């Protein structure tokens, strides 16, 4: 799948970091996070039509 996506020009979300964030049950879990720039690039990559 990774090779197929690469051939099609898609990028996998690999530039994420993980932070421990508190959930509703009060426990902390590693959560994927992105910077504002990464989010904007992701949004721009979504085709519309």
Q: What is the dihedral of CA 16, 17, 21, 23, to 10 degrees?
A: 30
pLDDT score recorded for residue 30: 92
Please give the pLDDT value at position 5.
Answer: 62
Residue range 4-48, pLDDT digits in tens: 666 766 666 556 778 899 999 999 999 888 889 988 988 898 888
pTM: 0.48
* Confidence (pLDDT) at 45: 87
Residue 9: the pLDDT is: 67
Q: Which residue ranges make up each domain of the chain?
A: 15-49
């Amino acid at each position: 799948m990774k090779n197929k996506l690469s051939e099609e020009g898609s990028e996998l979300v690999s530039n994420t970091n993980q932070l421990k964030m508190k959930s509703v049950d009060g426990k902390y879990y590693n959560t994927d996070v992105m910077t504002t720039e990464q989010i904007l690039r992701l949004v721009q990559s979504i085709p519309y039509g």
